Amino acid sequence: MMHLRRRIRPFAAAAALTVALVACGGGDDSSTDTAQTAGTETTAPADGETTPAGDETMTEGTETAEGDFAVPVKSSGDPFADLQDAAHHVVGAADTLSGGIAAAAGLEGDTASPAAETQATLTALLQEHVYLAGITLDTAAGFGFDSQEFELAAAQLDENSVALADVVGSVSDDEKREAFLNLWREHIGFFVEYTKGAAGGDEEMKQNALQELDSYRGDAGAFFEEVTGGALPADAVAENLKGHVDTVIAAIDAVAAGDASVFDKLKQAADHVNGSAKVLAGGIVQATGMEGDPESPAAMLRSDLTALLQEHVYLAGIAVKTAYAAGPDSDAFSAAAGTLDKNTQELSAAVGSIAGPEKQEAFQSLWREHIGFFVDFAVAAAGDDQQGMETAISELQGYTKDAGAFFEEITAGELPADAVASGLEEHISTLAGAIQSLAGVNFQG
């Protein structure tokens, strides 16, 4: 475990939240990617039920805060739900941070307008779809499509689908909401069929799935043209969805081939849907006459920070899971960590674009430091080292004060240090909780 810590340090910007997915994937050493559920809604076990995970168990529905921690550690026992909870927290943090930064920089537009809210929400949900799908497929590869582990992972993916349908329903009606949900779940099922064909070398199954996905693009285009009253033309939507299909298929092919490029390809698929979110938001705003400009600098800052912070959670988790499954010296982990580092550079650049290069470097150093403390917590949790976990949490609490002071400075007080520190404590609670839930899962089988 200490060896893992040393290997992670150079890629610190990804590793903190990274630990959150440590066990999410089962034992495959490179296929941590593009997964889809079978297009049917699944539900997690009721409170108190246990789910086998190798030689360990996962217990859902019980919150724990063991030890004399400086910040409470929230863990339900379900690593997939806890990871998603940690990701949702940083989406909220992006809202807060973008508001303060935009106000301090005098950016045109409003991060809190309905249009900005719609764009940020779609960005978060579509990106999450890609990464939760990857986690779900990797879990199926490690534990099987009929495993309870897969059911837990698929439940979070379907929760994301329902949330997307709710957004569609909020700007149309219940009938359109249900139509979208059925269409969306169906396309997930087609990706599953392609994945099974790729894994089994069944070219006919793959081609059938591609034909179904092609038909889906046309159906989805017609749907959005109708919902937006022509603001989103069917052909334009279908063409945009071609990029979604092509990038996800490329990632699935890399998984099947055991190609370490899979991590970059998964990120490319996520980056594509970030652009799709902007297209969809623009059409919805135009069709509904929604207040605000989704293309304003302030709105774009919010959606960009939303994507970067959430992506950090999911890419980091995949990288650390890969380190545990394939080893910290493996080519697979090096590739995964490299993809994570791209996210780190992008996040630091986003801060630097507003605050300047000197502050960009300061942010990157501070960010990497707090990631190291999360790595310390993960190492201690894996070894059941209570004192080590307590020390790591104390270090993280100290980090919240430094980060609070940093953001107060770069925003000239728009983001008060105490408020930032308080928000970061919730980040510590949720992420450390996900780490605790993951610690008991034997993903190597």
**Best-predicted range by mean pLDDT (18-22, 62-66, 416-420):** 416-420
pLDDT at 37: 34
Residue 68's contacts (CB-CB under 8 Å, 6 or more residues apart) are 390
pLDDT at 145: 80
pLDDT at 67: 59
Query: Per-residue confidence at 434, pLDDT binned at 50, 70, 90?
Result: confident
| Residue 26 pLDDT greater than 90, yes or no | no
pLDDT at 341: 84
Q: For residues 86 and 20, is the Cβ–Cβ distance under 8 A? A: yes
Q: Rounded to an integer, what distance in angstroms lies between the CA atom of residue 262 and that of residue 259?
A: 6
Give the residue, 365 or 337, on which the prediction is more confident. 365
pLDDT at 372: 77
Give the residue, 433 or 421, on which the prediction is more confident. 421
Show the DSSP H helices in 144-296 as ranges.
Answer: 148-170, 174-200, 203-227, 234-257, 262-288
* Mean of per-residue pLDDT scores for the chain: 83
Q: Rounded to an integer, what distance in angstroms lies between the CA atom of residue 415 and that of residue 376?
A: 29
- Buried (b) or exposed (e) across 165-204, using 16+ Cβ within 10 A? bebbbebbeeebbebbbeebbbbbbbbbbbbbbbbeeeee
Q: For residues 24 and 405, is the Cβ–Cβ distance under 8 A? A: no
Q: What is the pLDDT of residues 29-85, one digit of tens each?
A: 333 333 333 333 333 333 333 333 333 445 444 445 455 788 898 989 888 898 899
pLDDT at 444: 63
| Residue 94 pLDDT greater than 90, yes or no | yes
How many CB atoms are closer than 10 A to CB 66?
Answer: 11
Give the residue, 440 or 290, on which the prediction is more confident. 290
| Residue 319 pLDDT greater than 80, yes or no | no
Helices 262-288 + 234-257 axis angle, to 10:
160
Instruction: For residue 118, give both structure tokens.
Output: 């719609």
Q: For residues 54 and 445, is the Cβ–Cβ distance under 8 A? A: yes
| Residue 292 pLDDT greater than 70, yes or no | yes
pLDDT at 445: 60
Residue 101's contacts (CB-CB under 8 Å, 6 or more residues apart) are 107, 301, 354, 355, 410, 411, 414, 415
pLDDT at 443: 59
Which of 147, 166, 146 shows the shortest CA–CA distance to 158?
166
How many CA atoms within 13 Å lie on the side-chain side of 170? 15
pLDDT at 442: 67
Q: Rounded to an integer, what distance in angstroms lies between the CA atom of residue 107 and that of residue 99?
A: 10
pTM of the model: 0.84
Which of 47, 116, 34, 104 shows the shortest CA–CA distance to 413?
104
Instruction: For residue 25, give both structure tokens.
Output: 């994937």
Give the residue, 244 or 14, on which the prediction is more confident. 244
Q: Rounded to an integer, what distance in angstroms lies between the CA atom of residue 35 and that of residue 195?
A: 8
- φ and ψ of 44, to 5 deg: -75, 160
| Residue 367 pLDDT greater than 70, yes or no | yes
| Residue 298 pLDDT greater than 60, yes or no | yes
Q: What is the pLDDT of residues 101-114, one digit of tens each?
A: 999 999 999 999 99
Q: What is the pLDDT of residues 215-270, one digit of tens each?
A: 999 999 999 999 999 999 999 999 999 999 999 999 988 888 888 999 999 999 99
